[in-house]
Structure formats: structure tokens, C-alpha cells
Chain A
Amino acid sequence: MKTLTRQELEDFAANPPANPPEWIRVQLDTGGIAAGAEAVHAALAHEREERKLLFSLQRAGSIGYSFADPVIEVQAPGMPRIHYGHVTPELVGQVIEDHLRDRRLIDDHVIATRQRAVTLDGPVTHLLVRDTGPETGSKTEFFQFSFTEELKRRGLAERVQVVRALDIGVYEEGAVIQLLPSGVTYANVLAPDVARIVAESIEGGRVIDDLLWKTPDRQVRIVLRNCGDVDPDSLDDYLRRASGYQGLRRALFESNPEQVIAELKASGLRGRGGAGFPTWMKWQLTRAQPAPQRYVICNGDEGDPGAFMDRSVLESDPHSVLEGMMIAAYAMGASKGYFYIRAEYPKAVERIERAIRQAREQGLLGKNILGSTFSFEAKVRLGAGAFVCGEETALIASIEGRRGSPSPRPPYPSVRGLWGMPTAINNVETLACVPAILTRGGAWFAGFGTETSKGTKVFAVTGKVRNAQLVEVPMGTTLREIIYEVCGGVLDGREIKAVQTGGPSGGVIPVQHLDTRVSYESLQQLGSIMGSGGMLVMDKTDSMVEVAKFYLKFCVDESCGKCAPCRIGGYQLLQILDRISRGRGSAGDLALIQRICQAMQRASLCGLGQTAPNPVLSTLRYFGEEYQAFIEGGPSYARKVSRGSASPAKAPERTGTTPPVNPTPSNR
């Protein structure tokens, strides 16, 4: 096969190709596939064949709308791109006939665009409507009827279609409508506004300012920039439509390794695996170590309960991660790289392996890449499912074929890592940021975020949240904005109780701290951590003792068993929590919990053991009275809570400055 040249790559950058006018893209990530996306794709292919249609049927990863899987995106000539959720094979006929042929959208499946315009460009063709009031959806049909009647009255019914949206991207703001193709959004629309909107906006072409929803979308897609857009199985797609490997080109031909590291330094990018170590420094340390061979490893051993950011990125945009790895390798002088991906992610493995194969065939991997002096090879290694193998030294042991348990540091991997050589280990999300930083500049990246935490962060928001999904927001966005503005708030309109971040190493953040701006430091101050980006929303019915037990059990199961504080401490802690949750705790138990937690935090060898007590300590800190209630209430109370006939003790309102119930030393 012919290999890619530097000149061709430059041409791609200068002349991005035009997309075909008519296409349907099916989002085939693991979540989508689990929900039936393969069947949808097959049905579309079948119909296309049967009806001899010309639309281009494409595959893509996920945009992150997990709540609406399977998701497809449809482009018809002259229409805006439309996402449909909850698509079934049965709906395929309608997509082809209504949407492609008749230019009519399908009720209850449209996911409105987050790009909220403030001006109407040209005539309105479609009006999306959704009631987001207290009884969500109840008035949607009323408004659809009202708008339709009003349009009929004015003879506009033929021109404008009123469509019930599956999701409109604005929540708890009464009836919300969005005008297409512009994306102008009105919120808190009342019945009397119907006539006004039709008259002024649809007939008159004017935006109604008092109804206009001006809050911009909180999301900024840097890591997820191509997710749901490009075909993860196509290098060509990545090269032509996603500025693929332009970051590498710039690194190789427009800078030297020192400049690449300087660019990373300017970007302020810190490790997205959770600890937040400055990425440029990791590269610099590895580069500075004299050695005949250096390695770069992509840590794809994502294992936090509820976290699926890395999986989604690997499945949706594998070439970005590979490109990021290559840039990292160039910067630190490494010629070999490993993707360490857990075996439970077969799609991610398949796609990254295909990406590597494609890159090799096109000469993007191998000797003298694109005619430069840079040579690089990448391989995939599968993790056997141990959470602790996400820890750097355990991960290295696992790649080397040894038992996956951590070893003491120093020596740090940057000094002596894989096979005894200097090694830099970067998280999937970290590497996915790198090509964007190289193409758009470190300063651009640093323009997002806070003083100490730059750029954006992807979160997998799950739990009692209306729209469980992947979210990418600039650092410094508040938890409330993420949960309420992006994800639609708590399921069934219940009251939020707390948010758990950082997975089993993190902690719970109670409702009074929802306005905290997310950064590495702020979350730590609250007794939690950024972690890799899991975010679990809990409502008033959730028992915090159970939550602590759940996360602790995970760590107890996943402890490698090497060091005593983690191995025995975790187990004993779990026994005590279990005792308490059955109403059999004793007064001394809380002090004992503190003591064991302290031993684990201070004397465990690796991050797993050091942070495993965090969910316990943070629930104890903010919801100590729930523990107390179990101890005082005894077995009968515990049974009531587990049956749901008693609610876990209500947390008294506390402000951030109140000293915690049980002060504990921070482990960081």
C-alpha cells in the first residue's frame, strides 16, 4: 500500500473535503451497540439497498448521549444535522421516508442541538417543543397542538413542522422550544406566547428577546471533538475530516521536542487519570533520563464504577489517542509505545488495534515517519481486569508479565519503568488532548479552565440523573451547572443529596457544595478528588452508609493484597460498615473507623489503598448523623431503611466553613 507523505498531509489541512450532501451516521460505541445500534445500522443498510437510495451510510463513535442510545445523526440536503435518540430498526423506514424524503422530523426522537443561536438566519422550517416543567413532558403535546393550530390559522402549517423533542438541552425551564434551522431557543414559554412566537419569529423573522434562552452550552468539546463525528474505523475519515495527524505533522516538521514540551507546558495540561501531575513535566523527566530506550504507555485500564470516558474516546476516536501518543513519544524520545487496555473493553481494543494497523500501513508508524527522523511502534497489551493495574508500577508489572501489584516509588517510572527503561504513562484522555494542543496551541487550551486546572475535563455522569451521559466542560464549571444545566438534573425531579466524584478513590460532595468550581484542588479540599471523571448523582433516598460500603467493597475486592494496611484495613473497615448498616454497630465503631482509615491512608503503598477510605471518610464527614442513626436505631431501624420505609437520616445544613464532623488528615 502507498504510504502517506508529508505533502499529502499538508494538502488535507489546506483543503478539507466536502461532505456528501446526504448521510446517516450510526453511533456504534459499546453503549450504542448494547442498546441495539448494530440492528439499526443493519436495517438502514438493508433499506438503502432495497430502495436503491444514494445517502451515505456512515459509522461513528458516540457523541456521549448515553441516555438516548442508540443514537443516529441525519443530514438531509438543506437541513441542519439532526440527532435522533432511542432509534429502533422499526424507526428506520420513517427516518428514510419522513426525514430524507419529506424533510419532516420524527416526534419524540429528536435531540435538540446545544448550539443555541441568537439570530434567526432565514425562514423557520421546524419547531421543536418540549415541556421541561415540574411534570416533565406533560404539556409537550399541548404546546405541539397549540403551535400547530396557530400555524394553521396563519397558513404556515405547510412550511413549518412542530416536533416533540426527546431532549431539548434546557431543563426545568417550563416549556422550551427550539427553532430550526437556526437553533434559536425559547424557554419558559407560556400558552399566550404561542401566538407571539408564530407571529414575530416565524412570520416576522425576529427574535423575541424576553423568551430567548441565552445561557450558552456549558460544554466545550476538545477531548470529544471527533467523538460521534468521525468513523473510528477509518484513518481516511480522521485524516480528511478531523485534521488528523496535523498535530503530529506540526510536532515533527514545525517544532523540535523541546518546543513540543514547551507547548504542553503553556497549555497547562495535567494528567487526566486523576492525580493531575503536569503532563509536560512527566515528559520532561522521562526525556531527561539518559537511556538506550524509552517507552510511552497509554493507560486505558479505566475501571472506576460508572466511569466510561476512556472507553468512549478509544472507541470513538482511536486515532486521536494514537496521534497523542506519537507526539508524546517524539517529545520524550521514545520509540515504542504500549496501549494498556482492559480486556473488558473489546471494542476499544479492536478499534485501537485497527487504528495501529492502519497507521502502520500508511507509514504513520514505523521507521522515519513521514520522512522525518522519528521512528515509532505501538502495541496493545490487555489488562486482565485488575483495577490496581491502573496504578503505574502495577501496570508496568502487568505488561512485563508479572503479578500486577505496585512496587515502591522511587524509582519512578520516568527513571526506571517498563523493562527498566524510562517510561511515561499517560491516561487516554490526556493523550487525546495532545493533538488539539499541537494544532491550536497551548495558549488556546490554557484559555479554558481555572488558574491551576487548565482546559476541559470529561465526566461520565450517572446515577440518579435525568440524562446519564458523557460531559466535557471547561475546568471551573460548577457541579450544579454540570448536573442541572447539562444533564437535566435529578431523575424524577427528586431532591439531590450528594455527588460522588473520583470513583472509589473519591468522596461524596454534599448538596451545599454544589456550586464548587471543579478543579483538582477544589475537589480535594472537599475530601474528594477529580479522579478519572466518574460522577455519580445521589438523591435523598440514597443511604450514605450504603454508598460508602459500595465503593469500599470495590476497593476491597480490587486490593492486590500486597500491603497490610490496604489488604486487611479495607476488609476490616468493610466489616465494621456492614455491622453498622445492619444496626449492629457500637459507639466505639466510629473511632475505630477513623483509626483504620488513617492507617490505610498513611501506610498503604499505592494510591488504591491510600484513597480507598475517602468514600468512607467523606460520608462520615458530611453525613455522620446517618452513621449515628444506624448505631442508635439498631437492627429495627436498619431493616426499615433497607425496606425503604424509613429514610436515611437527614443531613443538617452545613456550610463549607463548618468544621467537619470528624476531622481527618488529608492524604495528599
Chain B
Amino acid sequence: MIKARINHIDVEVPEGTSILDAARQVQVKIPVLCKHKDLHATAACGICIVRNKGGNRLIRACCTPLENNMEITTHDREIVEVRRSTLELILSNHPQACLNCGRNGECELQTLAADFNIPQESIKRYVKDVAPDTSTGSIILEFEKCIKCGRCIQVCQEMQNVWALSFLDRGINTRMAPAGDITLAESPCVKCGQCSAHCPTGAIVENDETPEVWKALHDPDRICVVQIAPSVRVTVGEAFGLPPGTNLTKKLYAVLRRLGFRAVFDTNFSADVTIVEEASEFIERFVNKRGSLPLITSCCPSWTDHMEKRHYDFIDNFSTAKSPQQMLGVLAKTYYAQKLGFDPAKMFVVSIMPCTAKKYELSRTEEMYASGYKDIDVALTTRELARMIKQSGVDFLNLPDGAPDSILGDYSGAGTIFGATGGVMEAAVRTAHFYATGKKLEKVEVEAVRGLQGVKEGTLNIGGTQVRVAVAHGLANVEEVLERVRTARRTGTETPYHFIEVMACPGGCIGGGGQPYGVDNERRRLRIAGLYQDDRDCAVRHSHENPEVLRVYDDFLGKPLGARAHELLHTRYTARPLYKR
């Protein structure tokens, strides 16, 4: 343990703890712009400087480990002056179009500037005029607003191993941009949006499609319906000041109706459909030995995109089942439309997703038009929904509880845990066990696949057969799992895994790139706990027991993996070039 003093307060922390973290323990807040809890310190902003007694230099609290007998001063006249000047310099290189910015009110730079109370601009502003990159339709790069903290680049390169973003040029011309100075759409970007979730300013934001949704809602000829993704229910409250993990499912049903949606569905329902298909696929491959093992989940569009670009030797291993978002879309424009006599051409299906890549998924392949129309018209992120609610004038938190539509709305506990890393695996195992053995698991919680460890492995007993599974989240963690499979392929040994779940974002969808700002592992844990609680609260905890799912199969789809299911609920994958240029 390290013993030292910060602002004359004794502090004792484990070796290697940064001054910044040590100060937090004694309720001292050192202002910082570039350091994010998820990421290692890059020491870029220069705001977190502190003084160590006897040292001539000011040192950065973010990257300097506390040492024994240090006597740290975090605030004195010179330190505060230097911080203020540095902040003013940063502001002089920032457009300060706060009122027109997607991050207005939620911007770390804006907050810091407000804290410092900078009354006037003493340094002439210099912002280079660069057009934003809107090429992906998912994520927008507003280069002018970038403060070069480097978080997005660290996220893209280290957390996600995608390497789409990098720093180009140097000096005052330094800019964050797709590596090679191409457009983001031409880059290896998988649209996961983790860059936007970690950006301290409005330099990387989701493509805001709320105006389009408002337009449809206000159009009397459109029949607007909506679905809510599993994770959104436990995160949206954060945008309204509630603690992470607060489950607002019923409030969401209510508010969406107030917004003007004719029907409110729950993606948890289609998650259950996905599991029925995917578990059937697994049984087909594992028990009936038809198809490649391991089976790899495909409901994360960023992961799918990443696989098609970098790991296309695993195409045959991918589950062909569509993601819950797409399944619900196609069922809405076919089954639901038929049932209620709606013209699918007039339907406008909106999905509320934790994710920026879901915007990309809407038009990923032609199978996304299986209904004959674009199955989902617009995918909104949690952040966009929060904005819409605020614009609507509805007192969201005090609404009476609502209910989903009775069709495509009911869900099992297995559907809701899709939002957490390991959730898809756990849901699939619950159903696969039943399909294989005809019996339900004694204990439905599959602890081996829970938690925030980057790669989780387990061996599950399904009817006396050992099923080896792996769960990876955060794309950088995928490599070691796939590498093990590849090694086994090369050496002709038995595959190390039968079933692999991958989610692009750390923590799974609850940590998605479209979720409310300020994510860190503490929040991820709370959000996940919210989902597991929802699971426990469900009477039905197996996807294949969801009565509405059973009814849809009886009424419309036929058998899992059957002809109609195949036509509407499955997709294909192709190898794609890493760089489209």
C-alpha cells in the first residue's frame, strides 16, 4: 500500500493507483478532460496538473501513480491559473456552437467551462473549417468539435481492435479522422459507436434521426409502431437523472403511446423468437451434426460487420437467425399487418436501440427487406429517444404505467437478458437444454457466462453431453477466442468451443454506443443488475415458453427453421473488403 497526503489529507491506496483516483478516495475532485475510466491515461489535455511538494514541475494526476510520502496539492493559485489558461486555449480551438450541438447540456467541455466560469474570450478563436463525415448514416464525425483527447482512437484501436480512427497530421493541424483520410464508410468502422459514447464533446455523435420520426408521427397517413430493445429499459432513466439499472419498461410503453405510436412492441418478444430459431440451429448442428461448430451468435450488427471484414473464415459458423430488431420488423410488416388489416406500405416501424450500428443493420443486406418493404424504417438510439421524450412535453417519470400491445409484446426473462453480455448465450442454453433433453434446467441462471470479464468460458451439461461455450464482449476480446478455434482447425483437433457469443460493446448492449453518456464498469454492472432483476421478475423465463411466441409460430411461422421462418427470419453473410476504396 502507498501512503501519502493529498491536500494535507492522509490517503492510503494500492500501489499503482493514480493521483487522480487516489484523490477521489478522499473526496478531492481533480478536473480532467481526456481521461476516461474505461481507458488508460494518455495525458493529452493538461487539465489535471497537480503539484508534488519539492518538485519543480507540475505533474499530471491522471497518469502519475501516487508514491509513498508524496505531498500533493491539487489546487493552488498557480495550478488553477494554468488550468484555466489551458482550458481557455482548448476553448479557443472549439466552435463553441453549444446551443446547436448534439451534446448541449451533456458536454464535458461545456461543464468544465461552466465550472471555471470563464467570462470572456481573451484568446482569438481558431477553428479549422472541416466538413463533417456523415458517410455511415450511423455515426457523424464533427471534426471541428474535436478536442483531440484521443479517447475515440483508444476505444477504436484498443478496446474494439477496429482501427478505423486515428490521428492524422500534427501540431495545430492534428485531427481525429478515419485512418488514411478516407470516409468512415470506406474505413473498417463497424459503427459500434463506442467512440461516440466516450467522446467528451459533440465531435462524434449518432446520426440524429428524430426529425424523421417526428415527421412520420405527425403524418396521419402513416401507421407508426415502435419496439424497445432489452437494454433500453434499464438505461433510459439515466438521461432523466435516475440511477443506472432503473427499470422503466412500463413507463416506456406509456410514453411511446403518448408520443403517438399506434402500437408498442417489445424487442424482448423477438429476442425470444431469435432464441427459438438459434437454439434450434444449435441443436441441428450439435445434436444432428448438420452444419459447422462452433455456432456463433450474430445478433450484434457491429460484430457481424467486423466478422464479414476481418474474420470471414467464420461465415459458416454464424447463426443465420436475424437479430431481434429485424425479426420484429419483418413480423410487424407481415404478420401484424395482416392480422390488423394494415397496409404494410403505410406502416412506419421505429426501433429504440442501445446502438448506433442498428441504424446500419436496417439496410445491411436484401434480407432486411423480407417483408417486401424496409422491415424497420428508423432505428433510434436511447439518447435520441430521451431527446424525443424531452421534446414531447410528457412528464415521463410520473406517467402511469403502460402495457405493450398484446401481440409482439410479451416477453420471457430469457429475452430481457439479451441486453447483457452472456445473455444471448444464457437464453439459448435454457432453450437448447429443453430441446435436447425435453427437460428444463434445474437452475436457469448460467453463472459461468455472467459478469464483466472480457472472455468468459464454461462447460455446460446438456443431457449428459458437455457443451463448451465462450462469451466475448468488446471486440478486442474476440481475437483470442477465434484464434483458439483457428488453431484447432489448423491442427485438426477438436474445436475448443461449441457455442460462442460475441457482443461488440463491453458489457453487451447495456454498454452500447447509443446509450446515455458516462458509461463505466460501475454503470455497466448496475445496468446488468437491472436486467437480471427483470429476468427474475418474469413468470416465464424460457423463450420457447413465451405464449405469444408459440402463437406466432402456430398462426403464421410454422416450425422453427421451417420454410416461412427461413424466408422471414434468417439472413446471409458475405466477405467484405476491409477498406472500400
Answer whether residue A155 sits at the interface, using C-beta atoms and an 8 A cutoff: no
Residue in B60, B85, B90, B126 whose beta carbon sits within 8 Å of that of A596 in the complex: B85
Contact (Cβ within 8 A) A559 B122: no
Measured between C-beta atoms, what is the minimum distance from B171 to chain A in Å? Answer: 4
Checking A405, A563, A575 against B46 with a beta-carbon cut-off of 8 angstroms, the contacting residue is A563
- The segment out of A197-205, A602-610, A648-656 that lies at the interface is A602-610
How many angstroms from the CA of A570 to the CA of B148 in the assembled complex?
A: 15
Report yes or no: A410 in contact with B169, Cβ–Cβ below 8 A: no
> Does A521 count as interface, using CB distance less than 8 angstroms?
no
- B461 proximal to A (CB < 8 A): no
CA distance A108 to B356 in the complex (A): 78
Distance (Å) between the CB of A125 and the closest chain B CB? 59
Q: Which residue of B lies closest to A603 (CB)?
A: B46
Contact, CB under 8 Å: B45 / A563: yes
**Alpha-carbon separation in the docked complex, A205 to B49 (Å):** 72
**With known contacts A408-B41, A560-B171, A605-B43, A572–B89 Cβ distance under 8 A:** yes
Expressed in whole angstroms, the Cα–Cα distance for A95 and B489 within the complex equals 77
Contacting B171 at CB < 8 Å: which of A558, A588, A592, A604?
A558
Q: Is B110 an interface residue (CB 8 A)?
A: no
Name which residue of chain B comes closest to A601, CB basis. B82
Inter-chain contact B174/A567, CB cutoff 8 Å: yes
Which residue from A403, A410, A559, A560 sits with its C-beta under 8 Å from B65?
Answer: A410
Interface centre among A405, A570, A571, A603 (most CB of B within 10 A): A603
**A-B interface pairs (CB < 8 A), number:** 123
Cβ of B81 and Cβ of A408 under 8 Å apart? no
**Are A561 and B169 neighbours in the complex by a CB distance under 8 Å?**
yes
User: What are the interface flags for B79-112 relative to A under an 8 Å C-beta threshold, 1 for contact and 0 otherwise?
Assistant: 0011101100110110000000000000000000
Within B151-200, the residues touching A (CB, 8 Å) are: 166-167, 169-174
Q: Does B460 contact A (CB under 8 A)?
A: no
Residues in B with CB closer than 8 Å to A598 are: 81-82, 85
- Whether, in the assembled complex, B507 has its beta carbon less than 8 Å from a beta carbon of chain A, the answer is no
B315 in contact (CB, < 8 A): no
Give A558 to B42 CA distance when docked, in angstroms: 19
Contact flag A565-B89 (CB < 8 Å), given A602-B49, A602-B82, A667-B57: yes
Looking at the complex, which one of B47, B78, B89, B172 makes contact with A561 (CB distance below 8 Å)?
B172
Q: Are B81 and A562 in contact (CB under 8 A)?
A: no
How far is B535's CA from A36's CA once the two chains are assembled, in angstroms? 84
Residues of A within 8 A of B147 (CB): 564
Chain B residue, CB-CB nearest to A591: B122
Closest to B46 in A: A603
- With a cutoff of 8 Å between Cβ atoms, the chain A residues found around residue B92 in the complex are 568, 572
Residues of chain B from 27 to 60 with CB closer than 8 A to chain A in the complex:
41-47, 49, 56-58, 60
Cβ contacts under 8 Å, B126 to chain A: 571-572, 575
Do residues B56 and A668 form an inter-chain contact, with CB atoms below 8 A? yes
Contact with A along B113-156 (1 / 0, CB 8 A): 00000000011101000000000000000000001101000000
- CB pair B60–A408 under 8 Å, yes or no, is yes
Q: A559-B170, A596-B123 are in contact. Are A564 and B89 (CB under 8 A)?
A: yes
Q: What is the minimal beta-carbon distance from A380 to any residue of chain B, in angstroms?
A: 24
Task: Give the Cβ gap from B355 to chain A, nearest Cβ, in Å.
Answer: 30
Given A568-B89, A599-B85, also A561-B46 (CB < 8 A): no
A410 to B67, CA, bound (A): 11
- The CA-CA distance from A368 to B357 in the complex, in Å, is 58
A595 within 8 A of B: yes
A563 touches B171 (CB 8 A): no
Q: Does B63 interact with chain A (Cβ within 8 Å)?
A: yes
Chain B min CB distance to A220 (Å): 32
How far in angstroms is the closest Cβ of chain A from B127?
A: 11
Cβ contacts A239-272/B at 8 Å (1 or 0 each): 0000000000000000000000000000000000
By a CB distance below 8 angstroms, the chain B residues around A602 are 49, 57-58, 78, 82
Please name the residue on chain A nearest to B93 by beta carbon. A568
Contact among A403, A405, A568, A604 with B90 in the assembled complex (CB-CB below 8 Å): A568
* B64 sits at the interface (CB 8 A): yes
Q: Complex: how many Å from CA A218 to CA B65?
A: 47
Q: With A572-B126, A595-B85, A596-B123 given, is the CB distance from A386 to B170 under 8 Å?
A: yes
Say yes or no: B122 contacts A592, CB within 8 Å: yes
Residues from chain B with Cβ under 8 Å of A667 in the complex? 56-57
Report B-chain residues with C-beta under 8 Å of the C-beta of A610: 57
Determine the distance from Cα of A374 to Cα of B509 in the docked complex, in whole angstroms: 56
20 contacts between A and B (CB under 8 A): A405-B167, A407-B43, A408-B41, A562-B42, A564-B45, A564-B46, A565-B86, A568-B93, A570-B171, A571-B126, A572-B124, A596-B89, A602-B58, A602-B82, A603-B49, A603-B86, A605-B44, A610-B57, A667-B56, A668-B57
Interface contacts beyond A575-B126, A610-B57: sample of 17 additional A-B pairs, CB < 8 Å, sorted by A: A410-B64, A561-B170, A561-B172, A561-B174, A563-B45, A563-B46, A565-B85, A567-B93, A567-B148, A568-B172, A569-B89, A570-B171, A572-B124, A596-B123, A599-B85, A667-B56, A668-B56
